[in-house]
Amino acid sequence: MSEPSRCGTVAIVGCPNVGKSTLLNRLIGRKLSATSGRPCTTRHRVLGISTHGAAQAIYVDTPGLGLAHGRRDRSLSAAVENGLDGAVLALFVCEQGRWGDGDERVLQRLLDRGIGLRPLLVLNKIDRIADAVALLPQLERLATRADFADLVPVSALKNRNIERLRACVHRHLPVAEHRFTAGCHTDCTPQFLVEEMLREQLMRRLGDELPYTVRPHVEQLQWRGDLCRIHAVLEVQRESQRAIVIGRGGRSLKSIGTAARLDLEPLLGGRVGLRLWVRVASPQAAASAVN
């Protein structure tokens, strides 16, 4: 008898910077979600689909539950809650050797949601530890914190133990029809993916506060054969920010565009021609953005 088809939504949750988006990209086998060393790189729900034989896991990458407070945090937290809706399993990601109050809070939040969403603990960044034996006491300690469905140490960055994690996830998926065709990797629109990849480059290349205020926006996206022509605007708040984003002799803008294009070509499945503009938001636009 052939294996029954399994399918379900798996939420990826955890503190900022523990490697949730890197893990999603690894599980999907391609770069889909923006990653960087900065907190809150992921601002929206990103959905990645991985189909292996009879199993289809629909992963939802969520923004990290921030430690700070304020408006930005509240909307991010709402995105996390939305990510949990309908999930059959939560991958609770934490960083090896670094359990803190934030992890405790995220875990508590998961457990407070009650039955039906048992967390599976993913202990990430094990490449940073020289001796794997040192992981055992950590895993033992973590196992006492909740009734985890499983505990799996991995390195999302170095691709270690990912297949074991995948097998664990598949075991916990309910018997159900697949919701997406096998070749489908995301339900995100191409426009959204372009804006995400641009945002990642802004995060990686600009100073501290600036990347959070620059808004990438796709104005045009058109296929001609296997070439995807994209016009996108990076909207800044002030003239001085425009100069920074463009950089000396346009160097910064060029490197943002080149890196985003290289990420987008495998994602969109064709060649990409990307033209970027930097525009200062009009005062009216700024006002309407606040409303």
Ligand X SMILES: Nc1nc2c(ncn2[C@@H]2O[C@H](COP(=O)(O)OP(=O)(O)O)[C@@H](O)[C@H]2O)c(=O)[nH]1
Name residue, tokens 């907190």.
Answer: 39
- For residues 26 to 65, the per-residue mask of contacts with Mg ion, x marking binding by CB under 5 A and - elsewhere, is ----------------x-----------------------
Taking the alpha carbons at both ends of the chain, their separation in whole angstroms is 58
Q: Which of 156, 182, 147, 176 is nearest to 86 (CA)?
A: 176
H/E segment holding residue 227: strand 227-236
Q: Is 17 in the site for Mg ion (CB under 5 A)?
A: no
Q: How far is CA 4 from CA 54, 111, 178, 181, 184, in A?
A: 7, 29, 11, 16, 20
Q: Is 17 in the site for ligand X (CB under 6 A)?
A: yes
Q: Is 64 in the site for ligand X (CB under 6 A)?
A: yes
Binder to Mg ion among 11, 15, 18, 21 (CB under 5 A)?
A: 21
Binder to ligand X among 21, 161, 241, 252 (CB under 6 A)?
A: 21
Binder to ligand X among 10, 11, 19, 165 (CB under 6 A)?
A: 19
Q: How far is the CB of 24 from ligand X (least distance, A)?
A: 8
Q: Do the Cβ atoms of 9 and 86 come closer than 8 Å?
A: yes
Q: Which residues contact 233 (CB under 8 A, 6 or more apart)?
A: 216, 217, 219, 276, 277, 278, 279
For Mg ion, the closer of residues 173 and 203 by Cβ is 203
Number of residues that bind ligand X (CB under 6 A): 21
Q: How far is the CB of 159 from ligand X (least distance, A)?
A: 9
Q: How far is CA 222 from CA 162, 186, 205, 225, in A?
A: 36, 19, 27, 10
Binder to ligand X among 79, 82, 113, 127 (CB under 6 A)?
A: 127
The answer to whether the Cα torsion of 280, 285, 286, 289 is positive or negative is negative
Name residue, tokens 């160097």.
Answer: 251
Q: Is 121 in the site for ligand X (CB under 6 A)?
A: no
- For residues 23 to 62, the per-residue mask of contacts with ligand X, x marking binding by CB under 6 A and - elsewhere, is ------------xxx---xx--------------------
C-alpha–C-alpha distance, residues 72 and 98, integer Å: 25
Residue nearest to ligand X (CB): 19
Q: How far is the CB of 235 from ligand X (least distance, A)?
A: 23
Q: How far is the CB of 174 from ligand X (least distance, A)?
A: 26
Contact residues: Mg ion, CB under 5 A:
20-21, 42
Contact residues: ligand X, CB under 6 A:
14, 16-22, 35-37, 41-42, 64, 124-125, 127-128, 155-157
